[in-house]
Chains A and B, each alone.
Chain A
């Protein structure tokens, strides 16, 4: 019976006119190829954000906490020492070698560009530092 149906199907398929279908399929293919836009690979950078109104009895952060300042015009300082991106990468790598869980405090000035902050966060992510606290300063 199966053989009979198979033969029957193959016999009928010759009658199906494929030309119109192939035309439409090619039209669709060309349409989607032309209209599709390549999608960028996205990344998310996790940060901790302290509450904007900290409680009064909050303990002061320990003095040995690493402070990175992001200042206007792309100036970046680590513990008040100004440095470029390559140097910062080296310093962060050394810090990460000590401990990847230490809290890094990133002080971001109001007038600095967001891109500079993202670059600092990216360098931290590169070396595996995860406890990043972003604080805004004026």
Chain B
């Protein structure tokens, strides 16, 4: 072991600065993922269903709002275009891609049906309806 000249202590300030920068960066970017979903959709309640524990990274979230408009990540599209898109997804990743439908509780079934039919026509069969198990106060 070499004997080093005595240091006059470590200056912590730059380290703390960098740590805070990192914390703020991760907090803001984590928030951005949430923004991809439509907050105005009021999901139906399902107090007895299994809570979501694991998420498939391939999952496709299709949203159907109160007016029956279909969207993925805030991009509105027709059922025909959704079909084209899902066919592309099947070609790329196979038929086991799970589809999650976030439909407003007040929307009519025909709008949800249009979205589901586009998926089944494309060959996707794993389908789930998103619902709220427990509302946070």
Q: A99: which B residues are within 8 A, CB to CB? A: none
Within 8 A of A (CB), among B1-56: 1, 6-10, 12-13, 16, 20, 23-24, 27, 43-52
| Interface residues of B, count at CB 8 A | 53
A40 CB-CB contact with B under 8 Å: yes
The bracket for how many chain A residues form the interface is 35 or more
Q: B131: which A residues are within 8 A, CB to CB? A: 42-45, 118, 122
Min CB–CB distance B59 → chain A (angstroms): 10
Q: How far is the CA of A134 from the CA of B116 in the complex (A)?
A: 10
Q: Are B48 and A125 closer than 8 Å at their CB atoms?
A: yes
Q: Are A44 and B109 closer than 8 Å at their CB atoms?
A: no
Known A-B contacts A46-B127, A114-B112; the reply to A52 vs B44 at CB < 8 A is: no
**Chain B residue, CB-CB nearest to A51:** B120
Known A-B contacts A110-B113, A115-B106; the reply to A42 vs B51 at CB < 8 A is: yes
Min CB–CB distance B8 → chain A (angstroms): 7
Q: How far is the CA of A49 from the CA of B105 in the complex (A)?
A: 19
Mostly, the A contact residues are mixed
Binds B, one of A8-16, A55-63, A76-84: A8-16
Within 8 A of B (CB), among A65-119: 70, 108-115, 117-119
Q: How far is the CA of A47 from the CA of B112 in the complex (A)?
A: 13
Using a CB–CB distance below 8 Å, which chain B residues touch chain A? 1, 6-10, 12-13, 16, 20, 23-24, 27, 43-52, 64, 100, 103-110, 112-113, 116-117, 119-121, 125-137
Using a CB–CB distance below 8 Å, which chain A residues touch chain B? 1, 8-9, 11-13, 15-16, 21, 24, 28, 32, 38-53, 70, 108-115, 117-119, 121-123, 125-126, 134, 136
